[in-house]
Amino acid sequence: SAVISQKPSRDICQRGTSLTIQCQVDSQVTMMFWYRQQPGQSLTLIATANQGSEATYESGFVIDKFPISRPNLTFSTLTVSNMSPEDSSIYLCSVDIQGGETQYFGPGTRLLVL
Amino acid sequence: AQSVTQLGSHVSVSEGALVLLRCNYSSSVPPYLFWYVQYPNQGLQLLLKYTSAATLVKGINGFEAEFKKSETSFHLTKPSAHMSDAAEYFCAVSDINAGNNRKLIWGLGTSLAVNP
């Protein structure tokens, strides 16, 4: 497995602002994933981030709204841009350390947009 | 495309009773299947996974799941529920995204309540 940390753990933001969420892993991983989990719902994949290449976004998610950085094999950031109350959610990062079989998750970032 | 159906969004059992959480999947290729648990205000923790080895998979905390290809099912069981098992449980199947990378397709989750 892997130890994954996220910062911040929670935040309350004003609409129209942006928040950058950090994800740090204690080992080098090829693939990192960013998810959104809206209250009481399942996980929705936002994008897959491989080091050294552009993130691959899922349908319904765009880079202008959710820019992602992946500067090295242990770190990634997700920015939620121009936030609205509909962006209130838990944002989770996960990593794949076994060649595409298993994902391990960070503790999540709880975001409330007012 | 792969999909996952979890039957029953809420399941309630008594402490000490059998836990059965149902998961059916559709997949055009031999699947990788997973169960994750999410305790309140926490991230997701891997319970167990099936990756084409033994069909009966044992996981953490006394949980196990059986892969049944003929029924396209991967139900999660635990012989005796404990109060600490109260959580949200998610079933997932592995798929390939537009960048030819593996991704997980998630069920909607089942909330397990354990009554004293």
Q: Which pLDDT value is given to residue A68?
A: 96
Instruction: Take residue A91 and report the two structure tokens written for it.
Output: 């944002």
Residues A24-28 have a mean pLDDT of 93
Q: Three-class SS of residue B8?
A: coil
Q: Which chain A residue's Cα is nearest to B31?
A: A101
Please give the C-alpha separations between residue A32 and each of A2, A110, B102, in angstroms, as whole numbers. 12, 19, 11
A106 Cβ contact partners less than 8 Å away, ≥ 6 residues apart? A4, A5, A6, A23, A92, A93, A94, B43
- Number of alpha carbons in the 13 Å side-chain half-sphere of residue B88: 19
Q: Which pLDDT value is given to residue B43?
A: 86
Pairwise CB contact (< 8 Å): A56 & B109: no
Residues in chain A: 114
Would you say A103 and A97 are in contact if contact means Cβ atoms under 8 Å apart?
Answer: no
- Work out the end-to-end distance of chain B between its first and last CA atoms, rounded to an integer number of angstroms: 41
Distance CA A77, CA B26 (A): 33
Greatest Cα-to-Cα distance within chain A, rounded to the nearest angstrom: 40
Q: Which pLDDT value is given to residue B3?
A: 86
Would you say A47 and A33 are in contact if contact means Cβ atoms under 8 Å apart?
Answer: yes
Is the confidence at residue A17, as pLDDT, over 80? Answer: yes
Q: Three-class SS of residue B116?
A: coil
Pairwise CB contact (< 8 Å): A56 & B101: yes
Of the candidates A31, A100, A105, which has its C-beta nearest B43's C-beta?
Answer: A105
Question: Is A89 touching B (CB cutoff 8 A)?
Answer: no
For residue A21, the distance in angstroms to the closest alpha carbon of chain B comes to: 15
Q: How much is the mean pLDDT over chain A? A: 92
Of the candidates A43, A50, A56, which has its C-beta nearest B98's C-beta?
Answer: A56
Q: Which pLDDT value is given to residue A1?
A: 74
- Percent of chain A predicted with pLDDT > 90: 78
Pairwise CB contact (< 8 Å): B51 & A101: yes
Is the confidence at residue A16, as pLDDT, over 80? Answer: yes
Chain B residues near any Cβ of chain A (below 8 Å): 32, 34, 36, 41-46, 49, 51, 90, 94, 97-99, 101-104, 106-109
For residue A18, the distance in angstroms to the closest alpha carbon of chain B comes to: 23
CA dihedral A97, B86, B92, A74 (to 10 degrees): -20
Of the candidates A56, A102, A106, which has its C-beta nearest B46's C-beta?
Answer: A102
B57 Cβ contact partners less than 8 Å away, ≥ 6 residues apart? B48, B49, B50, B64, B65, B66, B67
Query: What tens digit of pLDDT does each residue of A94-109 get?
Result: 998 766 578 899 999 9
Q: Which pLDDT value is given to residue A15?
A: 97
HEC readout, chain A: CCCEEEECCEEEECCCCCEEEEEEECCCCCEEEEEEECCCCCEEEEEEEECCCCCEECCCCCCCCCCEEEEECCEEEEEECCCCHHHCEEEEEEEECCCCCCEEECCCEEEEEC
Q: Which chain B residue's Cα is nearest to A110?
A: B41
Q: What is the pLDDT along chain B (116 residues), one digit of tens a residue?
A: 778 999 999 999 999 999 999 999 987 777 789 999 999 888 899 999 998 778 899 999 999 999 998 999 999 999 999 999 999 999 999 876 666 667 888 999 999 999 99
